Amino acid sequence: MGAGEPDRDPAEGAEAAPGSGGSEAPEGGEAEGPAAGGEGREAAPVGDEGAGRRSAAGGPGTAPDGGGAATGDGRRDTAPEGDEGAGQRSEADGPGTAPEGGGAASGDEAAQVSEAEAELAAQRVERERIARRRAERQGPIDSGGKLSGGAADLLAAVRAVEGGAKPPATVMGDPAPAPRRPAPEPEHRPRPVAAAQQPAVPAGPAPEAVRAVSGVLAEGGAPEALAPQTAALLGEGAEEALRADPWLLLRVAGVRPEQADSFARALLGAECRPDDERRGRAVTVWLLEQAALSGHTALELPRLTEALERRGVPEPGSAVQGTLAEGEALAFQDALEERGETRGRSGQEDGEEERPVRVLVGLERYALAEESLADGLARLANSVPERGAPAADWEASAGAAQGAGADLIRAVAGHGLVLHTGGEASLAEPAALLGAARALGLRAWAAAPGPLGRDRFATLLAGGAADAVTVADLLAGTEGPGRDADGALDLDLLVVADAPQLDVETGALLAESLPDGARLVLAGDPAVLWSAGPGRVFADLLAARICPQIASRRPDPGPLGELVSGVGIGELAQVEAPGKEVVIVPVRDAGEAVHRTVQLVAESVPRAFGVPAEETLVITPGHGGAAGTRALNAALKERLNPGPGRFGGFDPGDRVAHSPAPGRVRPGRVTAADADGLHLSCAGTEVVVPREQVEQTVRHGWALTAHQAAGGRWPAVVVVLPGDAAGALSRPWVYTAFGRAARHLSVVQGAEQALPRAVAEVPAAPRTTRLPVLLAPPVAEEG
């Protein structure tokens, strides 16, 4: 099932695709969530139904070297602000989702802290602050007394928990939309530990602990290969904990409820029952985790209980209540927009109806992150920038700029939070802003969620790579301005490119790290895929309208710009491509798609356009299947860098995608392999991936998914659309994939009319988030 089915239950967002060998993502299986067997979620196998020779546009044309292609099609624009066309999570960015917060440990000594370790240490400091602030504001739910059914039962249970009737649970409640908060007094932020002093990531579980867990797994018929991950996840006493509650196995990435049930039956025998409260809690948490993989920060209570019923939980309400009582999830309610004269009433007389609310349940980490993000954004939006040049100097800088660039400078002069939207060409405007700010004496920096976006944006800056960092490095303090005496980022202005790629956790850490009086500019294209992690931060902010929004009018040039612009507004029309900037290569089946892709990368594109194979990227909807990234990378390696693959399937010279932490991908190349691990060169940086981390964090990188490629641009791109890709296609996916090409785009087209239909009719699947409610202004009381 894919993005073409908008009614899909978000709680079931990671169901297995029949025959896929993995779980299916919301957009057809592109997500790379880890599976029990070590592989990620993948697309269903590709069949031969993609026969036919219709081009994407239906028009005639010529492929490179007479490949029988048709020219491309379309014009370009951005999706409406706040529209669902911004994309959704359909492919996780990593070669296999690493353990939470985990990347590959890189140093031989504690002093040599890896990028992932530094980020983890910085995130721990910020999370402690977020938890403390949340605890200070925490209170019971006051409204919702006139709810009925499951919602009323849940709220009653929550109140009972708060009164001590059951073990305490953390319950969040907001009787009305959270007001815009005034800029708070500067609070002390703990100074981050210097990189050289940061503690190393804790070592893996002890060998004896792994052996003990392995014995329990074998006894229950579960794969012993899960032992290291299970022991690390459950910590000290993992063996005893697993025996006491076999459904804890469901916390291990890739394990599904039916597998955990089988394990529990083997261990508990006749004591294993469907109504076991341990099972109910475990399945509830699992469903919330699957929803997070699909981009949701919370689930509405009815959807959650329905999903529990489908999973064979006899009393879903009790399961949710038990999960809340154990503190494994949070319950809260949000007041909804109400039309009519009752809007604006905060207190009702007896007999009057209360404002409608929705009851949601979410995992603590995402609920706290979204709350903290709203706090930080409201603080910036409501504060007056304290540092900078006089207004006259800002106006002079704006006068020297053009169009939306001048509007952007004027907006930043007087506001702490500004949004900037536009396509690829519009990046010149925030780049010009950065130069103007530095000329005015501000400590201004640029950042991007990933290294691809950072490197792309750096080419527009006067200082090049020296002026741009990744958000992870910025937060960790390994690059950028570092932190001031209070622990805040030591800067006056931060411009974040590719802002749609920010998830709620990263966004919260970023907002919390900015000092009072600083300025934040979030820039990005609303029509691209959303973040790989939960939330839709940029789209929610655009919809909330709590700060100035500057829309760029710079069109992307040439046939490629016209094509992608058309996709953005739902059109896939023919474009004139006299230089063969866009070609369509029809294929009948997956085998032909792989063959033609290898031919394009290795022969046709280099010969016709002078773009070498190492500068051509292949993009396909999923990792699995007969034309997924695995199959394509295998074929491309055999042609471009054959070898025995002695080190985990890799050889020196292999093109790879390294994922040091979930959601982050760094393209690179293998330089060597030895006892220390796999040696990579990633954007000029030497990286050593330990042997035990290679399988989880490194993939071959000639072919990527669209989410992995988001933020980057390549001289030539080959987009592969096999016949069974219809369920994986959506307007944001096509927009993102086509938009990665700078000079030439080849579309290996086996999806026939599914491609134009997806562009015209399939927007992004919605995500359930709380950020719009948290950012909404307070409702005024009637006199």
Neighbouring-strand partners of residue 717: 617, 745
pLDDT for 528-575, tens place per residue?
Answer: 999 999 999 999 999 999 999 999 999 999 999 999 999 999 999 889
What integer pLDDT is reported at residue 335 of this predicted model? 77
Average pLDDT value for the chain: 78
What integer pLDDT is reported at residue 357 of this predicted model? 85
Phi and psi torsions of 361, nearest 5°: -130, 135
Which is higher by pLDDT, 655 or 147?
A: 655
Q: Is the pLDDT of residue 600 over 70?
A: yes
Q: Do the Cβ atoms of 70 and 746 come closer than 8 Å?
A: no
- Token digits for 324? 């809340």
What integer pLDDT is reported at residue 98 of this predicted model? 35
pLDDT for 227-245, tens place per residue?
Answer: 988 999 999 899 999 999 9
Q: Is the pLDDT of residue 180 over 80?
A: no
pLDDT for 728-755, tens place per residue?
Answer: 999 999 999 999 999 999 999 999 999 9
Task: Count the residues in the chain.
Answer: 783
Which is higher by pLDDT, 507 or 103?
A: 507
What integer pLDDT is reported at residue 12 of this predicted model? 54
Which range among 157-161, 296-300, 503-507, 654-658 shows the weakest confidence by mean pLDDT?
Answer: 157-161
The residues, ordered by sequence, that sit 6+ positions from 355 with a Cβ below 8 Å of its Cβ are 143, 176, 335, 336, 338, 342, 343, 345, 779
Phi and psi torsions of 650, nearest 5°: -115, 150
The arithmetic mean of pLDDT across residues 703-724, rounded, is: 95
Q: How many secondary structure helices (H) and strands (E) does the chain include?
A: 26, 20
List the one residue out of 328, 366, 307, 166 whose CA is nearest residue 251.
328
Q: Do the Cβ atoms of 528 and 86 come closer than 8 Å?
A: yes
Element containing residue 154 per DSSP (H, E): helix 149-162
Cα-Cα-Cα-Cα torsion 522, 527, 529, 530, nearest 10 degrees, comes to 40
What integer pLDDT is reported at residue 346 of this predicted model? 41
Q: Is the pLDDT of residue 609 over 90?
A: yes
For 237-363, strand residue ranges (E) read 299-300, 330-335, 357-362
Q: How far apart are CA 635 and CA 440, in angstroms?
A: 53
pLDDT for 272-289, tens place per residue?
Answer: 999 999 999 999 999 999
Binned at pLDDT 50, 70 and 90, residue 414 comes out as very high
- Token digits for 427? 């990046």
What integer pLDDT is reported at residue 105 of this predicted model? 37
pLDDT for 338-393, tens place per residue?
Answer: 544 444 444 444 545 566 889 999 999 999 999 999 999 999 999 888 766 788 89
Name the percent of the chain lying above pLDDT 90: 60
What integer pLDDT is reported at residue 184 of this predicted model? 38
Element containing residue 509 per DSSP (H, E): helix 504-513
Q: Is the pLDDT of residue 107 over 50?
A: no
- Write the burial class of residue 255 (CB in 10 Å: 0-12 exposed, 13-18 middle, 19+ buried): buried
pLDDT for 467-505, tens place per residue?
Answer: 899 999 999 999 999 999 999 999 999 999 999 999 999
Binned at pLDDT 50, 70 and 90, residue 724 comes out as confident
The arithmetic mean of pLDDT across residues 121-134, rounded, is: 56
Most confident of 63-77, 157-171, 279-293: 279-293
Q: How far apart are CA 203 and CA 232, in angstroms?
A: 9
Helix (H, G, I), strand (E, B) or coil at 677: strand
- Write the burial class of residue 268 (CB in 10 Å: 0-12 exposed, 13-18 middle, 19+ buried): middle
What integer pLDDT is reported at residue 598 of this predicted model? 98
- Token digits for 620? 């396909």
The arithmetic mean of pLDDT across residues 304-333, rounded, is: 95
What integer pLDDT is reported at residue 352 of this predicted model? 52
Q: Is the pLDDT of residue 109 over 60?
A: no
What integer pLDDT is reported at residue 693 of this predicted model? 86
Q: Do the Cβ atoms of 275 and 314 come closer than 8 Å?
A: yes
What integer pLDDT is reported at residue 132 of this predicted model? 57
Binned at pLDDT 50, 70 and 90, residue 778 comes out as low
